Amino acid sequence: AQTVTQSQPEMSVQEAETVTLSCTYDTSESNYYLFWYKQPPSRQMILVIRQEAYKQQNATENRFSVNFQKAAKSFSLKISDSQLGDTAMYFCAFSQEGGGADGLTFGKGTHLIIQP
């Protein structure tokens, strides 16, 4: 079974700073998919970014980018120019190839607080 570990339960940074959230995972699969989801205080889970393991290039979405290190099984999320609206729980998630057999496996989450 896959496991996802987020080692930072909470982080706090000033607005406009850059912040990096860590995620490591364990799997014996060679192809898989990784996600970062954001869950603001309103509770609606929103996709931030998606990475396909067979792609070497790191995914980016505007101010959000990942550092995907397949050999190290690491998938960190970098948020540039952080904004107050980035305050949320951030979950790293893993999905194996072959469908939703085990659903998404989530880490415990990192509570990110952006201070004004």
Partner 1 sequence: EAGVTQSPTHLIKTRGQQVTLRCSPISGHTSVYWYQQALGLGLQFLLWYDEGEERNRGNFPPRFSGRQFPNYSSELNVNALELEDSALYLCASSFFRGGGETQYFGPGTRLLVL
**Touching partner 1, residues 50-69 (CB under 8 A):** 50, 52
| Site map (CB under 8 A) of partner 1, residues 69-98, x = contact | ----------------------x---xxxx
108 binds partner 1 (CB under 8 A): yes
d(CA 112, CA 103): 25
d(CA 39, CA 77): 15
20 by Cβ neighbours in 10 Å (0-12 / 13-18 / 19+) ranks as middle
Whichever of 15 and 97 has its CB closer to partner 1, that residue is 97
35 binds partner 1 (CB under 8 A): yes
99 binds partner 1 (CB under 8 A): yes
What is the nearest approach in angstroms of partner 1 to the Cβ of residue 105?
Answer: 7
What token pair was written down for 43? 């509770």
Residue holding tokens 């469908």? 99
In a 3-state reduction of DSSP, which class is residue 51? strand
Among positions 25, 37, 68, 75, the unique one binding partner 1 when judged by CB under 8 A: 37
Decide if 92 contacts 24 (C-beta within 8 A).
no
Count of residues in contact with partner 1, rule CB under 8 A: 28
What residues make contact with partner 1 under the rule CB under 8 A?
32-33, 35, 37, 42-47, 50, 52, 91, 95-109
